[in-house]
Structure 1
């Protein structure tokens, strides 16, 4: 036919040529699977608590293996955090009765320090997997999970509660099932805040990597192979050379993760942005461009399509995506009162048992001592927030309102926010000892190394999100100086600053546990504060004092959130939202 002038048949049945981008993507997947298979035996190695090593080798040749082990823990914790976020946030946003309980519980959980979780869960996980290192691995991953999950859950919850009413009505008009609504509306509408807060939470979890891999609880010390335990061992030996090597490896890891994972994720999430006009400059990622040009992801996803179709049809048996508000008002009020009463009874009983336990062990007067120590830590948190606000808000606005500067500075800020600042503690300790600064003052700087970046990160995001037409209007009206800041810039970035302030305050409280007690070689520095109190109680296994310290810190954090941050957040929603 082709020779007689008909349609050309040559090459119609020929298979597509193998392209170099497909080979590259396939090779990367094979390398990833091979690495996971190589790591598997080490995760389930024999383990006896009384014979477990208390430290790891500080030979730099082990650093590649340690780096991969730490990355595996971080990403497993990230996957668990995403799954928890979907379940918890959906339940809080879609079920009015549970919302009244789940949100306060989440507020309390985010105020509990990582060491508070470790002191309870390490023994349980070791008992769950007797004779295997998998129990200690699960305890470490759970500790990292507690440093990630709460912020992501809050972000996804707020994206669900702020969905436009038109989208909700469209979902019900189209008779979507609950699964279809979740996958086609809830997840896409919350993808951008979920990705960005996931990136921030991932960076914050690096800060607690040493505490999660070099565990000191109940007078026992356990060390898992990883970057955090390597840094802890180098710091304990007072070897600054090995600490510098660990810092260099961590910088390479953080940059690599941002290039290979978070940069593609942020660029991909832009497809879910709802706006009337396309942004002038969108994030770009070479890795994402390669994946889009390759046919490997589509071929891997093809077998999963029948599963999605089956879920779409099967979930229709469980009802449509309608709001659960069809019950009579009187019945609803009666049910709410009963539910609230039952929850209150459980909370009161639990609080009574906890107070009775403290009363019969260390005495209720220990709460007064812990409250006084909490006041010292609270003062450091306030100083940190004031100084970080004064320094980083102007810098963040300058970066965010200049696209060229943003393109250069944002990756640097991401690396700074993701870098585990406690790796720098030995050098800060040397400076403190040299110039005679007490840790009561120096701990503010150590806390700031891990918490201040949240304010800068969010202010940059807020300044870069200001519509260009508003900027041009301010320029056209010749509004400048303090008037421009007071009437335009500060109101525009205020909602983002509140988000950064809440995260920075929570991060500072958690960081106080590792910043108020610093060990470097033979030097032991200790500040007066609640963080040092919890760290000492956790190391010696003093459960009553751990309970007192965690309870007091939770009271401080929840009270600060309710009195200050929630009101500022409500003000940002009602008055300063664009």
Structure 2
């Protein structure tokens, strides 16, 4: 480790990764509140952004590598640009469900609040800070549980950005663990993994579990003192910012200062975005697309079968765990903590942890790959069912089951499963997207001098990235996203429609 004591290097790496995670979450929360509330209240913005976000959330993290390098490394000093690129990549792994959570909360807001805002002449800033943000609090907290885990899951990929001959490696806990393993430093490797798990568990016990317990009324193991300090600090900063912007908006509106500049800024932003799209299209169309892009359609069925298997398996296991959690509060608490811990382990770390199994046989490689797939998919269903779904079982149904002595399979089939179906559908859709994102680390990995390539779309994207084939990587990621969106709009929309029609009012 270059003469630096191991424990100092480890702590420095931990601090760097934690800072990136906090920065990425802060950016994601602001983006989610801004975009989510704007989409919910402006039909024009909604019609434009919803399909765009639908595509963006389906792009695996490798698909954002070219954008990260172009947007940040090109226009900033390298050290700052790479750091910003890393934070940007982490944001892409946790922001989407936060945006849709805020969007659904503000969209379902009672129209009386808007009527009240008109009566008291609330401007955009006042509505944002005093109405939309408080209304989004519950959904933001609930989605943050999974988003925080998603950020850690792709942390290593965001700290080692590699595209062809260009490789940018940042100091961080993920890169520390991989470097330790690749250099044969097993002590550093296991200390890094232990530090990672301890840090993840601490962030949940100190921050996210108290927030969930207070906001959602869900009792989870927690220590509230740190959360109270963080909450009061964030509330003070956010409140001060709100008062400042609201006061500025009121003063500016008297002199009509804002209307002109804001409109021109919006127009300029739109023109800039269209120019970038046009330039990118000219670049792509002006070059001969590599023949390898066609192979994505050959790889799709393989990855599709794996993703479908993972989602079905995740559903089955989650329902079993949820049933026993429903019967035992102690079991529920233990399973929630275990889930929070395991869900956050970066995907690529599973390969060195289980390398003995992976190198033992081809079957072992598929077993480890399946575990990595589960890491990216399972927890969306797990948390939606275990944390939110169990709370949706109506008390009168429980009393009815007690009166008529409905137990075992009868209770499970006729009351338990129907009560959880809305949460199951939401979790399954997220698990579906998570499995596709996990394919980039489940189907292809380089550990030391060994390369494991199991085929599929994820492996294809990795091969494009390693060869520096930016066009192939970009176009393949876009094609994959379009396929996922088409399936979402056909299969998943029908599933949601069925559940809403049959169980929505029960």
TM (normalized to structure 2)? 0.86
1:268-307 matched pairs, under 5 angstroms: 268-270=214-216, 282=219, 285-288=222-225, 291=228, 297=232
Which residue is equivalent to 1:139?
A: 85
1:160 aligned to which of 106, 116, 129: 106
- The answer to whether the aligner puts 1:558 opposite 2:495 as a matched pair is no
Which residue is equivalent to 2:266?
A: none
SS in 1 for 2:102: helix
- The answer to whether the aligner puts 1:245 opposite 2:188 as a matched pair is no
Give unpaired runs (5+ residues) of structure 1. Answer: 1-52, 271-278, 320-341
2:62 aligned to which of 92, 115, 127: 115
Mapped to 2, the partners of 1:125 and 1:305 lie a distance apart of 31
Q: Deviations over 1:465-514 (max 9, x none)?
A: 32333212222122334332332211211111112112211111111111
Mapped to 1, the partners of 2:494 and 2:80 lie a distance apart of 44
Mapped to 2, the partners of 1:123 and 1:349 lie a distance apart of 16
User: What's the CA shift for 1:446?
Assistant: 2.1
Which residue is equivalent to 2:351?
A: 425
1:182-193 matched pairs, under 5 angstroms: 182-193=128-139
Are the structure 2 counterparts of residues 84 and 57 from structure 1 closer, same or farther at C-alpha, using a change threshold of 3 Å?
farther
SS in 2 for 1:419: coil
User: What's the CA shift for 1:521?
Assistant: 2.4
Q: Deviations over 1:57-96 (max 9, x none)?
A: 8945411110010000011011111111122112211111
Are the structure 2 counterparts of residues 453 and 304 from structure 1 closer, same or farther at C-alpha, using a change threshold of 3 Å?
closer
Aligned length: 485
Which residue is equivalent to 2:43?
A: 96
Which residue is equivalent to 1:356?
A: 285
Q: Deviations over 1:155-179 (max 9, x none)?
A: 1111111223454445445554433
SS in 1 for 2:406: coil
Which residue is equivalent to 1:391?
A: 317
Q: Deviations over 1:264-307 (max 9, x none)?
A: 3223424xxxxxxxx6x655743248838x9x948x97798776
Residues 56 and 224 of structure 1 are in contact (CA less than 8 Å); yes or no, is this contact kept in structure 2? no
Give unpaired runs (5+ residues) of structure 2. Answer: 254-270
Greater shift, 138-147 or 310-319, is seen at 310-319
SS in 1 for 2:27: helix
Residues 56 and 229 of structure 1 are in contact (CA less than 8 Å); yes or no, is this contact kept in structure 2? no
Structure with more helix by fraction: 2
Mapped to 1, the partners of 2:53 and 2:133 lie a distance apart of 20
Residues 236 and 519 of structure 1 are in contact (CA less than 8 Å); yes or no, is this contact kept in structure 2? no
SS in 2 for 1:437: helix
1:414-563 matched pairs, under 5 angstroms: 414-437=340-363, 439=365, 442-460=368-386, 461-563=388-490
Are the structure 2 counterparts of residues 184 and 401 from structure 1 closer, same or farther at C-alpha, using a change threshold of 3 Å?
farther
- The answer to whether the aligner puts 1:213 opposite 2:159 as a matched pair is yes
Are the structure 2 counterparts of residues 95 and 297 from structure 1 closer, same or farther at C-alpha, using a change threshold of 3 Å?
closer
SS in 2 for 1:133: helix
1:230 aligned to which of 157, 166, 176: 176
Which residue is equivalent to 2:268?
A: none
Residues 357 and 364 of structure 2 are in contact (CA less than 8 Å); yes or no, is this contact kept in structure 1? no
2:336 aligned to which of 410, 433, 452: 410
TM (normalized to structure 1)? 0.76
- The answer to whether the aligner puts 1:377 opposite 2:377 as a matched pair is no
Q: Deviations over 1:415-463 (max 9, x none)?
A: 1222224212113332032244264565223211332122111111201
Are the structure 2 counterparts of residues 67 and 408 from structure 1 closer, same or farther at C-alpha, using a change threshold of 3 Å?
same
SS in 2 for 1:222: strand
Mapped to 2, the partners of 1:93 and 1:318 lie a distance apart of 25
Mapped to 2, the partners of 1:497 and 1:57 lie a distance apart of 49
Mapped to 2, the partners of 1:236 and 1:551 lie a distance apart of 33
Residues 322 and 385 of structure 2 are in contact (CA less than 8 Å); yes or no, is this contact kept in structure 1? yes
Residues 443 and 516 of structure 1 are in contact (CA less than 8 Å); yes or no, is this contact kept in structure 2? yes
Residues 293 and 472 of structure 2 are in contact (CA less than 8 Å); yes or no, is this contact kept in structure 1? no
Q: Deviations over 1:282-338 (max 9, x none)?
A: 55743248838x9x948x97798776555445545788xxxxxxxxxxxxxxxxxxx
